[in-house]
Structure 1
Protein backbone atom coordinates (compact mmCIF):
# COMPACT_ATOMS: atom_id res chain seq x y z
CA UNK A 1 0.00 0.00 0.00
CA UNK A 2 1.32 3.47 -0.78
CA UNK A 3 0.30 6.95 0.35
CA UNK A 4 -1.86 7.47 -2.71
CA UNK A 5 -4.13 4.61 -1.62
CA UNK A 6 -4.57 6.24 1.77
CA UNK A 7 -5.40 9.59 0.17
CA UNK A 8 -8.39 8.16 -1.68
CA UNK A 9 -9.83 6.56 1.45
CA UNK A 10 -12.61 9.16 1.48
CA UNK A 11 -13.79 7.85 -1.89
CA UNK A 12 -14.08 4.37 -0.39
CA UNK A 13 -16.56 5.44 2.31
CA UNK A 14 -19.50 4.80 -0.01
CA UNK A 15 -18.60 1.11 -0.08
CA UNK A 16 -19.11 0.72 3.68
CA UNK A 17 -22.44 0.55 5.48
CA UNK A 18 -21.15 2.30 8.62
CA UNK A 19 -22.37 5.86 9.07
CA UNK A 20 -18.99 7.22 10.25
CA UNK A 21 -16.31 4.63 9.47
CA UNK A 22 -12.91 5.22 11.01
CA UNK A 23 -9.74 5.45 8.94
CA UNK A 24 -8.62 2.14 10.45
CA UNK A 25 -11.89 0.46 9.41
CA UNK A 26 -11.58 1.77 5.85
CA UNK A 27 -8.18 0.11 5.51
CA UNK A 28 -8.91 -2.95 7.64
CA UNK A 29 -9.52 -5.34 4.76
CA UNK A 30 -6.57 -4.21 2.64
CA UNK A 31 -3.50 -6.42 2.95
CA UNK A 32 -0.27 -4.68 3.91
CA UNK A 33 2.81 -6.42 2.60
CA UNK A 34 5.69 -5.52 4.88
CA UNK A 35 8.19 -6.80 2.34
CA UNK A 36 7.50 -3.85 0.01
CA UNK A 37 7.84 -1.19 2.70
CA UNK A 38 11.19 0.62 2.87
CA UNK A 39 13.43 -0.34 5.77
CA UNK A 40 14.08 2.48 8.23
CA UNK A 41 17.68 3.43 8.94
CA UNK A 42 19.30 6.04 11.15
CA UNK A 43 20.84 9.17 9.69
CA UNK A 44 22.67 10.70 12.62
CA UNK A 45 20.14 10.82 15.46
CA UNK A 46 17.11 10.72 13.17
CA UNK A 47 15.28 7.75 11.65
CA UNK A 48 14.97 7.91 7.88
CA UNK A 49 13.71 5.88 4.94
CA UNK A 50 14.72 5.85 1.32
CA UNK A 51 11.81 6.52 -1.01
CA UNK A 52 11.88 4.26 -4.08
CA UNK A 53 12.67 6.23 -7.23
CA UNK A 54 9.64 4.88 -9.12
CA UNK A 55 7.28 6.09 -6.39
CA UNK A 56 9.01 9.46 -6.22
CA UNK A 57 8.78 9.96 -9.99
CA UNK A 58 5.12 8.91 -10.01
CA UNK A 59 4.26 11.61 -7.47
CA UNK A 60 6.38 14.25 -9.23
CA UNK A 61 4.38 13.51 -12.38
CA UNK A 62 1.10 13.69 -10.47
CA UNK A 63 1.83 17.10 -8.94
CA UNK A 64 3.58 18.75 -11.90
CA UNK A 65 0.56 20.96 -12.67
CA UNK A 66 -0.35 21.74 -9.06
CA UNK A 67 -0.47 25.12 -7.35
CA UNK A 68 -0.49 26.09 -3.67
CA UNK A 69 -3.36 28.30 -2.54
CA UNK A 70 -3.65 30.36 0.66
CA UNK A 71 -6.78 31.77 2.31
CA UNK A 72 -7.99 32.35 5.86
CA UNK A 73 -9.97 29.13 6.14
CA UNK A 74 -11.39 30.16 9.51
CA UNK A 75 -13.55 32.68 7.67
CA UNK A 76 -14.49 30.54 4.68
CA UNK A 77 -14.88 26.79 4.24
CA UNK A 78 -12.90 24.86 1.63
CA UNK A 79 -16.17 23.68 0.05
CA UNK A 80 -17.12 27.33 -0.61
CA UNK A 81 -13.62 28.03 -1.96
CA UNK A 82 -13.89 25.09 -4.34
CA UNK A 83 -17.35 26.08 -5.60
CA UNK A 84 -16.51 29.75 -6.15
CA UNK A 85 -13.10 29.07 -7.67
CA UNK A 86 -14.38 26.48 -10.13
CA UNK A 87 -17.15 28.82 -11.26
CA UNK A 88 -14.61 31.60 -11.93
CA UNK A 89 -11.85 29.52 -13.51
CA UNK A 90 -13.86 27.55 -16.13
CA UNK A 91 -11.33 24.71 -16.14
CA UNK A 92 -11.15 22.17 -18.93
CA UNK A 93 -9.74 19.36 -16.77
CA UNK A 94 -10.07 17.96 -13.28
CA UNK A 95 -9.31 19.91 -10.11
CA UNK A 96 -8.85 18.59 -6.59
CA UNK A 97 -8.21 20.50 -3.34
CA UNK A 98 -5.94 18.96 -0.72
CA UNK A 99 -5.78 20.84 2.62
CA UNK A 100 -2.26 21.29 3.97
CA UNK A 101 -3.02 23.21 7.18
CA UNK A 102 -2.68 26.84 8.33
CA UNK A 103 -4.88 28.01 5.43
CA UNK A 104 -2.71 26.42 2.74
CA UNK A 105 -4.06 23.88 0.26
CA UNK A 106 -2.87 22.17 -2.88
CA UNK A 107 -4.81 22.85 -6.06
CA UNK A 108 -4.18 19.62 -7.95
CA UNK A 109 -4.71 20.05 -11.70
CA UNK A 110 -4.24 17.64 -14.57
CA UNK A 111 -3.10 19.97 -17.38
CA UNK A 112 -0.86 22.96 -17.97
CA UNK A 113 -3.53 25.10 -19.66
CA UNK A 114 -5.62 25.18 -16.48
CA UNK A 115 -2.53 25.83 -14.35
CA UNK A 116 -1.55 28.85 -16.45
CA UNK A 117 -5.16 30.13 -16.52
CA UNK A 118 -5.21 30.22 -12.70
CA UNK A 119 -1.61 31.42 -12.30
CA UNK A 120 -1.82 34.22 -14.84
CA UNK A 121 -5.50 35.11 -14.71
CA UNK A 122 -5.84 36.64 -11.25
CA UNK A 123 -6.25 38.35 -8.94
CA UNK A 124 -8.84 35.90 -7.64
CA UNK A 125 -11.22 36.90 -4.84
CA UNK A 126 -13.06 34.14 -3.01
CA UNK A 127 -15.78 35.12 -0.54
CA UNK A 128 -14.24 38.58 -0.17
CA UNK A 129 -10.68 37.31 0.34
CA UNK A 130 -7.74 37.51 -2.02
CA UNK A 131 -6.67 34.00 -3.02
CA UNK A 132 -2.89 33.87 -3.03
CA UNK A 133 -1.52 31.28 -5.45
CA UNK A 134 2.07 30.03 -5.70
CA UNK A 135 3.79 27.50 -7.92
Structure 2
Protein backbone atom coordinates (compact mmCIF):
# COMPACT_ATOMS: atom_id res chain seq x y z
CA UNK A 1 0.00 0.00 0.00
CA UNK A 2 1.46 3.35 -1.00
CA UNK A 3 0.88 6.59 0.84
CA UNK A 4 -0.76 9.47 -1.01
CA UNK A 5 0.54 12.01 1.49
CA UNK A 6 3.35 14.15 0.15
CA UNK A 7 5.96 15.57 2.46
CA UNK A 8 5.81 19.34 2.64
CA UNK A 9 9.03 21.19 1.92
CA UNK A 10 10.76 17.93 0.96
CA UNK A 11 13.96 19.00 -0.71
CA UNK A 12 13.04 22.67 -0.42
CA UNK A 13 15.66 25.15 0.71
CA UNK A 14 15.14 26.05 4.34
CA UNK A 15 14.16 29.69 4.90
CA UNK A 16 16.58 31.50 7.14
CA UNK A 17 16.49 35.04 8.42
CA UNK A 18 19.40 35.91 6.13
CA UNK A 19 17.59 34.40 3.12
CA UNK A 20 14.48 36.44 3.87
CA UNK A 21 16.52 39.65 3.87
CA UNK A 22 18.03 39.00 0.45
CA UNK A 23 16.91 41.46 -2.23
CA UNK A 24 14.14 40.19 -4.48
CA UNK A 25 13.97 41.03 -8.16
CA UNK A 26 10.86 42.86 -9.32
CA UNK A 27 9.51 43.92 -12.67
CA UNK A 28 9.50 47.71 -12.35
CA UNK A 29 7.11 48.03 -15.27
CA UNK A 30 4.38 46.72 -12.95
CA UNK A 31 4.74 49.70 -10.60
CA UNK A 32 2.68 52.85 -11.14
CA UNK A 33 4.51 55.78 -12.71
CA UNK A 34 4.85 58.65 -10.25
CA UNK A 35 3.81 62.14 -11.27
CA UNK A 36 3.89 65.49 -9.50
CA UNK A 37 0.77 67.10 -8.10
CA UNK A 38 1.91 70.58 -7.19
CA UNK A 39 5.03 70.10 -5.05
CA UNK A 40 4.16 66.54 -4.07
CA UNK A 41 4.89 63.27 -5.85
CA UNK A 42 1.79 61.17 -6.40
CA UNK A 43 0.74 57.88 -7.95
CA UNK A 44 -2.59 56.75 -9.32
CA UNK A 45 -4.08 53.82 -7.42
CA UNK A 46 -6.38 51.55 -9.37
CA UNK A 47 -9.94 51.42 -8.09
CA UNK A 48 -9.66 47.70 -7.28
CA UNK A 49 -6.70 48.40 -4.97
CA UNK A 50 -8.51 51.31 -3.34
CA UNK A 51 -11.59 49.14 -2.71
CA UNK A 52 -9.41 46.40 -1.18
CA UNK A 53 -8.03 48.97 1.24
CA UNK A 54 -11.52 50.22 2.08
CA UNK A 55 -12.67 46.66 2.73
CA UNK A 56 -9.71 46.02 5.04
CA UNK A 57 -10.57 49.02 7.24
CA UNK A 58 -14.37 48.72 7.23
CA UNK A 59 -14.51 47.83 10.96
CA UNK A 60 -11.94 50.43 12.05
CA UNK A 61 -12.38 53.49 14.23
CA UNK A 62 -10.21 56.51 15.04
CA UNK A 63 -9.27 57.03 18.68
CA UNK A 64 -7.59 59.88 20.51
CA UNK A 65 -5.76 60.03 23.82
CA UNK A 66 -2.97 62.15 25.28
CA UNK A 67 -0.19 59.70 24.47
CA UNK A 68 2.29 61.68 26.57
CA UNK A 69 0.43 60.40 29.63
CA UNK A 70 -0.40 56.86 28.55
CA UNK A 71 1.47 54.43 26.31
CA UNK A 72 -0.40 53.10 23.29
CA UNK A 73 0.29 49.46 24.24
CA UNK A 74 -1.22 50.03 27.70
CA UNK A 75 -4.23 51.77 26.14
CA UNK A 76 -4.78 48.81 23.80
CA UNK A 77 -4.52 46.24 26.60
CA UNK A 78 -6.90 48.20 28.80
CA UNK A 79 -9.36 48.69 25.94
CA UNK A 80 -9.29 44.96 25.11
CA UNK A 81 -10.02 44.07 28.74
CA UNK A 82 -12.69 46.71 29.42
CA UNK A 83 -14.58 46.24 26.19
CA UNK A 84 -14.44 42.42 26.10
CA UNK A 85 -13.40 42.38 22.46
CA UNK A 86 -13.66 39.01 20.75
CA UNK A 87 -11.51 39.54 17.65
CA UNK A 88 -8.16 41.02 16.81
CA UNK A 89 -7.49 44.63 17.72
CA UNK A 90 -4.53 46.84 16.81
CA UNK A 91 -3.87 50.43 17.76
CA UNK A 92 -1.95 52.05 14.88
CA UNK A 93 -0.47 55.48 15.74
CA UNK A 94 -1.25 58.33 13.35
CA UNK A 95 0.32 61.25 15.25
CA UNK A 96 -0.86 64.05 17.57
CA UNK A 97 -2.55 61.53 19.89
CA UNK A 98 -4.68 59.98 17.13
CA UNK A 99 -4.58 56.29 16.29
CA UNK A 100 -6.51 53.84 14.16
CA UNK A 101 -8.37 51.19 16.15
CA UNK A 102 -8.04 48.38 13.61
CA UNK A 103 -10.70 45.72 14.23
CA UNK A 104 -11.67 42.60 12.32
CA UNK A 105 -15.39 42.35 13.10
CA UNK A 106 -18.47 44.54 13.35
CA UNK A 107 -19.50 43.36 16.82
CA UNK A 108 -16.29 44.75 18.35
CA UNK A 109 -16.67 47.99 16.39
CA UNK A 110 -20.22 48.47 17.67
CA UNK A 111 -19.15 47.54 21.22
CA UNK A 112 -16.55 50.32 21.23
CA UNK A 113 -18.68 52.83 19.31
CA UNK A 114 -21.85 52.43 21.35
CA UNK A 115 -20.58 51.24 24.70
CA UNK A 116 -18.77 54.30 26.00
CA UNK A 117 -17.75 56.58 27.43
CA UNK A 118 -14.44 54.76 27.88
CA UNK A 119 -11.75 55.91 30.28
CA UNK A 120 -8.18 54.65 29.96
CA UNK A 121 -5.68 55.57 32.67
CA UNK A 122 -8.05 58.34 33.76
CA UNK A 123 -8.40 59.78 30.24
CA UNK A 124 -11.51 59.86 28.12
CA UNK A 125 -10.99 57.81 24.96
CA UNK A 126 -12.48 59.85 22.13
CA UNK A 127 -13.69 57.74 19.23
CA UNK A 128 -14.84 58.69 15.73
CA UNK A 129 -15.69 56.64 12.67
CA UNK A 130 -12.78 55.78 10.37
CA UNK A 131 -12.75 57.49 6.98
CA UNK A 132 -10.17 57.04 4.22
CA UNK A 133 -9.45 60.77 4.11
CA UNK A 134 -8.97 61.29 7.87
CA UNK A 135 -6.40 64.03 8.52
CA UNK A 136 -4.88 64.59 11.98
CA UNK A 137 -4.39 68.26 11.12
CA UNK A 138 -8.08 69.03 10.55
Which band: TM-score by shorter chain? 0.7 to 0.9
Aligned to 1:21: none
Distance apart, 1:31 and its partner CA: 3.9
d(CA) in 1 for partners of 2:73, 2:38: 43
Q: What is the match of residue 76 of structure 1? A: 70
CA offset at residue 36 of structure 1? 1.9
Which one has the largest radius of gyration? 2
Match of 2:97 in 1: 103
Superposed CA deviations along residues 4-47 of structure 1, whole A, max 9, x for unmatched, are xxxxxxxxxxx748xxxxxxxx8653444322211012345543
2:114 to 116, 120, 132: 120
Q: What is the number of residues matched between the two proteins?
A: 113
Q: Which runs of 5+ in 2 are unaligned?
A: 1-15, 130-138
Q: Tell me, in whole angstroms, the C-alpha distance in 1 between the residues paired with 2:63 and 2:22.
A: 33
Q: Give the TM-score of the pair, scaled to structure 1.
A: 0.74
CA distance in 1, matches of 2:25, 2:53: 22
What do you get for the CA RMSD once the two structures are aligned?
Answer: 2.0
**Residue matched to 2:51:** 57
Task: List runs of 5+ in structure 1 lacking aligned partners.
Answer: 1-14, 18-25
**Residue 80 (structure 1) shift:** 0.6
**TM-score computed with the length of structure 2 as normaliser:** 0.73
Distance 1:85 1:44, change over 3 A: closer
- Deviations along 1:79-127, whole A, 9 cap, x unmatched? 1101110000111211111110111100011111110110000000000
Decide which structure has greater helix share: 1
SS at match of 2:90: strand
1:64 is paired with a residue of what secondary structure? coil
Deviations 1:67-86 (A, max 9, x none): 00000001110111011100
